[in-house]
Amino acid sequence: MGLTLPSMPKPAGSYIPSVKIHDLVFISGQVPFVNDQLRTGKLGKDLTTEDGYECAKICALNALSVIKSELGSLDKIHRIVKVSGYVNCIDDFTDQPKVINGASDLFGQLFGDKGKHSRIAIGSNSLPLNSAVEIDVIFQILE
């Protein structure tokens, strides 16, 4: 697909990037950092739904960089269990699912049926660092 995994983002607070419990890996919230630059702004005011979709894809790539760092290889992913998506948006913005589709579609394209997952897409009046989008992911892995 012509994609390159970014370097694993550094935590922006007092937490670790991932936690492994048995065959599950919980990835901490990922924001759309690209080359140390954060995509910021509010959907419906500063950014379009399409901009948000691209931000969600970046978040998904960052989550993959974290799991690759944890496991050493993406080949150990058995499936993606759940994606939680948060969209920094104006009060009457209702396209949160379309925005978070950026992450879901990327996972589906990369992993096929293993990329199908449960999901929630939530609108928020703000996100850390004025990030446009944030996702967290739960992966099931092969042990």
**pTM (2 decimals)?**
0.95
Residue 1 included in any domain: no
Q: What is the mean pLDDT of the chain?
A: 94
Residues 137 and 113 sit within 8 Å (Cβ to Cβ): no
Residue 79 included in any domain: yes
The pLDDT value recorded for residue 7 is 79
Residue 36 included in any domain: yes
Residue 137 included in any domain: yes
Domain of residue 83 covers: 18-141
Structure confidence at residue 1 as a pLDDT band (50, 70, 90): low
Q: Say whether 27 sits in a helix, a strand or coil.
A: strand
Q: Which residue has the tokens 């994606």?
A: 83
Residue 72 sits in a domain whose CATH number is 3.30.1330.40
Residue 129 included in any domain: yes
Could you report the per-residue pLDDT of 120-131, keeping only the tens digit for each? 999 999 999 999
Count of structural domains, the chain? 1
Residue 11 included in any domain: no
Selection from 27, 120, 115, 117 nearest residue 81 by Cα: 117
The pLDDT value recorded for residue 81 is 98
Give the span between the Cα atoms of 21 and 140, in whole angstroms.
10
